[in-house]
Amino acid sequence: MAAPIVDTDSEDEIPPGWEERVSAQGQVYYANHETKATQWEHPRSGKRKQIKGDLPYGWEKQINDEGVIVFVDHINRKTTYTDPRLAFAEDEKKTPMDFKQKFDGNSTAIQVLQGRDLSGKYAIVTGANSGIGYETARTLAYFGATVILACRNLEAANKCVKVILEERPSAKLEVMHLDLASLKSVRMFAEEYRSKKWPLHMLILNAGVFGLAYTKTEDDLEMTFQVNHLAQFYLTKLLWEVLAASSPSRVVIVSSESHRFSDISLHNISEDKLSPGRNKYKDLQSYNDSKLCNVLFSLHLNKLLSDKGVHCNSLHPGSVMYTSLSRNWFLYKLIFLLARPFTKSLQQGAATSIFCAASSQLDGVGGLYFNNCCRCEPSKAGHDEELALRLWNLSEKMLQTALDREK
């Protein structure tokens, strides 16, 4: 067997005689032991790099008896003179939008967060008791975040917490009831969250329904539209002051490539189109429309909140993954069984949610659509700012009508 080809002259490699170090401000610099000189620019690529954030989970910086800084890995019980964050140093950005693809469709959520410490960060994940939502919550908890599982099924959510704690006893997890088919439940959830005086750094709107027979909620709205869009729109509005007070913070909206098959436009967007009656309802069309609503909501929300330090992005999690989303549609289950060898795992499916929620590559980045941890163009309607504004105003109107009906 031929030996693997090794690029010994990669621009990222440090030449012999050089050493990579980190300044107190997190800037990477390079020491030349032959000339006794230091410089900020990488000796091969000429790029400048920086590290961000705290040490990885389980690490601590100490000063030894000789007065030298060392780094202690408490999990693996080892000590090193090298700052572990060097392995994850990134090229300095000229603008926040200057980022390159580091992960892809094969990356897992855990790989995306490798080297990060999210201790002190608070995250809400809707629909966190199964599928991608569960993997998203589990991964954030693994890396130190306090994760609130916002779920309708409390029994299932508590079972998830038990499993995560068996794997990672130090995980910080909370379960709170949230039924997106009830605007009253959304309001009660937000009131309870605010009463706890917790910050909120990541609001991950993951929950969704698919393939439902025509159903109306207690708020007299079509179920798919309310659960997939309007209730989470309401939740965000109720919590955005907490998000702004906790900035920098992020809102992540799980959409789908199905948004490309919506026919919502400036010419037909209306209350009846968004929440159709029984005679006009088609389950797949309503799902596609709700997913376009997710993309448009994200686009306009980012425009409203980015100057407050809150950035919002939407995403497609992956192709034909078997989750509880398919429980209402037999044909989807059949499609999955046929396509299973070509699909993502749930850890891979959660990677883009995690990337949008916590990757330092997206600091200050919002208003975009991601697939496979990579920015991609949504549909033409998906970046129509006028359509996004029209949806926002209609959502406000429909929400107020439903809330007035409660009184």
Q: Specify the higher pLDDT residue, 131 or 91.
A: 131
Cis peptide upstream of residue 248 (ω within 30 degrees of 0):
yes
Asked if the model's pLDDT at residue 143 lies above 70, the reply is: yes
Asked if the model's pLDDT at residue 329 lies above 70, the reply is: no
C-alpha count within 13 angstroms, C-beta hemisphere, residue 211: 11
Contact status, residue 383 vs residue 349, Cβ threshold 8 Å? no
Q: Specify the higher pLDDT residue, 211 or 296.
A: 296
The lowest-confidence range among 52-61, 81-90, 129-138, 344-353 is 81-90
Please calculate the CA angle 113-117-123 and round it to the nearest 5 degrees.
Answer: 80
Determine what percent of the chain is predicted with pLDDT higher than 70.
85
How would residue 1 be classed by pLDDT, with cut points 50, 70 and 90?
very low
Question: Rounded to 5 degrees, what are φ and ψ at 322?
Answer: -80, 110
DSSP letters, 246-307, are: T-SEEEEEE--GGGGG----TTT-SHHHHS--GGG--HHHHHHHHHHHHHHHHHHHHHHHGG
Q: Indicate the SS3 state at residue 42.
A: coil
Residue pointed to by tokens 């037999």: 330
> Tens digits of per-residue pLDDT, 366-383?
999 999 999 999 999 999
* Rounded-to-integer distance, Cα 264 and Cα 324, Å: 27
C-alpha count within 13 angstroms, C-beta hemisphere, residue 231: 33
Question: Considering 122, 287, 332, 369, which one is annotated as catalytic?
Answer: 287
Q: Which of 134, 139, 254 is closest to 203 using CA atoms?
A: 254
Asked if the model's pLDDT at residue 330 lies above 80, the reply is: no
Over range 259-279, report the average pLDDT.
96
> Tens digits of per-residue pLDDT, 69-106?
788 888 778 888 777 777 666 666 666 666 666 788 78
> Tens digits of per-residue pLDDT, 271-282?
999 999 999 999
Contact status, residue 158 vs residue 207, Cβ threshold 8 Å? no
The lowest-confidence range among 41-45, 302-306, 382-386 is 41-45
Phi-psi map region of 115: left, alpha, beta (phi>0 left; psi -120 to 50 alpha)? left
Within its chain, how far is the Cα of 173 from the centroid? 17
Q: Cβ neighbours of residue 28 under 8 Å, at least 6 residues apart?
A: 20, 21, 22, 40, 48, 49, 50, 51, 86, 89
Asked if the model's pLDDT at residue 67 lies above 90, the reply is: no
Domains of the chain: 18-91 (2.20.70.10), 109-406 (3.40.50.720)
Q: Specify the higher pLDDT residue, 81 or 140.
A: 140
Q: Cβ neighbours of residue 267 under 8 Å, at least 6 residues apart?
A: none
Rounded to whole angstroms, what are the CA distances from 184 to 190, 236, 377? 10, 14, 36
Contact status, residue 294 vs residue 254, Cβ threshold 8 Å? yes
* Rounded-to-integer distance, Cα 253 and Cα 317, Å: 10
Asked if the model's pLDDT at residue 195 lies above 80, the reply is: yes
One-letter identity of residue 93: K
DSSP letters, 305-374, are: HGGGTEEEEEEE--SS---GGGGG-HHHHHHHHHHGGGSPPHHHHTHHHHHHHH-GGGTT--S-EEETTE
Q: Indicate the SS3 state at residue 245.
A: helix
How would residue 319 be classed by pLDDT, with cut points 50, 70 and 90?
low
Rounded to whole angstroms, what are the CA distances from 355 to 163, 316, 352, 362? 23, 12, 5, 8
Rounded to whole angstroms, what are the CA distances from 217 to 213, 260, 271? 12, 26, 15
Over range 188-212, report the average pLDDT.
96
- Label residue 176 exposed, middle or buried (CB < 10 Å: 0-12, 13-18, 19+): middle
Q: Is 287 a catalytic residue?
A: yes
What would the two tokens of residue 331 be? 């044909």
